[in-house]
């Protein structure tokens, strides 16, 4: 198979290196600079793009809007340089949590971002563990929605014992927790969470047996850590052993996340590299690369 030209956006250097290595290629050398007014200026080498299948990797971590615009600028540059086809790999899709309007007067941010991406003229978009799989319906291009759960399960397996319980920190994570529990052959439980604001949550109870157990808390993403910290407090109150593993696809860890997780006896965090890994965590962070999963998905013969 002819290898694609791989263009790596500035939000994904870690995964970009791993994916290029998995393909056995070097990423296309792009030039990026900021004009004094803050505008981004991009250049791709036309000779590396013309007539080629081009894959652009860019995750939409903070600053979300900037990174999305950079992806679209890269796509426009490649299209104008004569790319034969364009595909986008967006491991973490920002705004995906705005998949419904909780109150009148709110926008549908997830739908808007999917609409914006249609300007990239992508033939196909690849993503991993979307906050709500139903968002696929908003994308104009075919969406390859990949699951990182088997990769996370493999990384977690050595840490599983006969006291492990997989816990969903809210109702939205139940299917994920159930699937992970099945992969690990362990029981699962769920914490009932209510969101008070973008920054604050409270817990309303728990379903399942957790007394004397060691929890693996699993969620699609950790943003400010509020959900996991609240769930951990509930679990401690219900008699869980002080030995928590956090498992997530997208470890954003923004704002007060570290402060909040400080109160949780985190033994280990297992996440993917959909988000550039932070280097300042006070607990062991095991990063599982998405590169092999993406390589398989991007290799049509293997699909
Ligand atoms: C929400 O439904 C998501 O699945 C996560 O639970 C949530 O977005 C995590 O955010 P935070 O870490 O800020 O509580």
Q: Model confidence over 34-81: pLDDT tens digits?
A: 999 999 999 999 999 999 999 999 999 999 999 999 999 999 999 999
Residue 278 or 199, more confident? 278
Question: Which pTM does this prediction carry?
Answer: 0.95
Would 237 be classed as within a structural domain? yes
Is 130 near ligand 1, meaning CB less than 6 Å away?
no
Angle among Cα 178, 272, 296 to the nearest 5 degrees reads 90
**Can the peptide bond before residue 63 be classed as cis, meaning omega within 30 degrees of 0?**
yes
Q: Pull the structure tokens for residue 130.
A: 């979307």
* Cβ neighbours for 147, distance < 8 A, ≥ 6 positions apart: 128, 129
What secondary structure letter does DSSP report for 277? Answer: P
**Mutation probe of ligand 1 site: the residue of 221, 234, 247, 250 with most atoms within 8 A of C-beta:** 221
Would 280 be classed as within a structural domain? no
Q: Where are the alpha helices (DSSP H) in the chain?
A: 13-23, 46-49, 64-80, 109-117, 149-156, 174-184, 226-237, 257-262, 291-298
Supply the pLDDT for residue 302: 58
Would 17 be classed as within a structural domain? yes
pLDDT in tens, 107-166: 999 999 999 999 999 999 999 999 999 999 999 999 999 999 999 999 999 999 999 999
Does position 195 have pLDDT exceeding 90, yes or no?
A: no
Pairing mode, if any, of strands 53-57 and 143-146? unpaired
Query: Domain tally for the chain?
Result: 2
**Whether residue 233 lies in the annotated active site:** no
Would 134 be classed as within a structural domain? yes
Lowest mean pLDDT among 14-18, 195-199, 241-245: 195-199
Query: How many whole angstroms from 247 Cα to the centroid of ligand 1?
Result: 13
* CATH number where 234 lies: 3.40.50.2020
Q: Is 128 in the same domain as 217?
A: no
Q: Is 70 in the same domain as 163?
A: no
Q: Is 110 in the same domain as 30?
A: yes
| pLDDT class of 201 with cuts at 50, 70, 90 | confident
Would 277 be classed as within a structural domain? no
Q: Pull the structure tokens for residue 210.
A: 């957790």
Does position 245 have pLDDT exceeding 90, yes or no?
A: yes
Is 220 near ligand 1, meaning CB less than 6 Å away?
yes
In the chain, the percentage of residues whose pLDDT exceeds 70 is 99
Supply the pLDDT for residue 283: 96
Residue 263 or 154, more confident? 154
Q: Which one of 193, 233, 236, 267 is the catalytic residue?
A: 193
Q: Is 117 in the same domain as 234?
A: no
| pLDDT class of 199 with cuts at 50, 70, 90 | confident
Q: Is 136 in the same domain as 12?
A: yes
Atom of ligand 1 nearest to the CA of 169: 6
Supply the pLDDT for residue 181: 98
**CA 24 to CA 31: how far, in whole Å?**
22
211: domain range?
149-272
Query: How many whole angstroms from 94 Cα to the centroid of ligand 1?
Result: 12
Q: Could you identify the residue written with the tokens 């791989």?
A: 6
Q: Is 48 in the same domain as 178?
A: no
**CA 117 to CA 25: how far, in whole Å?**
26
Q: Is 67 in the same domain as 164?
A: no
Residue 92 CA to its chain's centroid (Å): 4
Task: Report the mean per-residue pLDDT for the chain.
Answer: 95
**Mutation probe of ligand 1 site: the residue of 192, 222, 275 with most atoms within 8 A of C-beta:** 222
Q: Is 178 in the same domain as 132?
A: no
Average pLDDT over residues 97-115: 95
Average pLDDT over residues 258-272: 94
- CA dist 148 → 26, 75, 197, 265, 294 (Å): 25, 26, 28, 25, 10
| Cα dihedral 69, 70, 75, 76 sign | positive
**CA 245 to CA 160: how far, in whole Å?**
10
End-to-end CA gap in the chain: 13
Decide if 60 contacts 276 (C-beta within 8 A): no
Q: Is 140 in the same domain as 10?
A: yes
Q: Is 18 in the same domain as 113?
A: yes
Q: Is 231 in the same domain as 122?
A: no
Would 208 be classed as within a structural domain? yes
Which residue(s) pair with 140 in the sheet? none
Would 282 be classed as within a structural domain? no
Would 284 be classed as within a structural domain? no
Decide if 252 contacts 261 (C-beta within 8 A): no
Smallest CA-to-CA distance from 266 within 239, 247, 287, 279 is with 247
Average pLDDT over residues 184-202: 86
Q: Is 73 in the same domain as 174?
A: no
pLDDT in tens, 205-221: 899 999 999 999 999 99
| Cα dihedral 110, 111, 117, 122 sign | positive
| pLDDT class of 300 with cuts at 50, 70, 90 | confident
* Cβ neighbours for 265, distance < 8 A, ≥ 6 positions apart: 232, 242, 243, 244
């Amino acid at each position: 198979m002819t290898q694609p030209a791989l263009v790596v956006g500035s939000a994904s250097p870690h995964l970009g290196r791993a994916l290029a290595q998995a393909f056995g290629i070097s990423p296309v050398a792009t030039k990026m600079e900021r004009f004094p007014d803050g505008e981004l200026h991009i250049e791709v080498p036309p000779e590396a793009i013309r007539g080629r299948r081009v894959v652009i990797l860019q995750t939409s971590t903070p600053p979300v809007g900037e990174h999305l615009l950079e992806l679209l600028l890269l796509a426009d540059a490649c299209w104008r340089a004569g790319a034969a086809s364009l595909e986008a790999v967006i491991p973490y899709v920002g705004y995906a949590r705005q998949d419904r309007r909780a109150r009148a007067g709110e926008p549908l941010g997830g739908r808007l971002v999917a609409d914006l991406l249609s300007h990239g003229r992508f033939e196909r978009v690849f993503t991993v563990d979307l906050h709500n799989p139903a968002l696929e319906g908003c994308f104009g291009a075919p969406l390859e929605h990949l699951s990182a759960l088997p990769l996370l399960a493999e990384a977690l397996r050595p840490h599983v014992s006969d006291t492990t319980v997989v816990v969903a920190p809210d109702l939205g994570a139940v299917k994920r927790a159930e699937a992970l529990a099945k992969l690990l052959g362990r029981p699962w439980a769920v914490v009932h969470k209510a969101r008070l604001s973008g920054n604050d949550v409270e817990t309303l109870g728990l379903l399942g047996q957790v007394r004397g157990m060691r929890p693996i808390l699993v969620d699609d993403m950790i943003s400010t850590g509020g959900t996991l910290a609240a769930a951990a407090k509930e679990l401690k109150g219900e008699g869980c052993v002080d030995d928590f593993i956090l498992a997530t696809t997208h470890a954003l860890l923004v704002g007060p996340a570290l402060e909040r997780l400080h109160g949780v006896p985190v033994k280990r965090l297992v996440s993917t590299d959909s988000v550039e890994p932070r280097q300042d965590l006070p607990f062991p962070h095991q990063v599982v690369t998405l590169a092999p999963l993406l390589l398989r998905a991007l290799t049509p013969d293997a699909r």
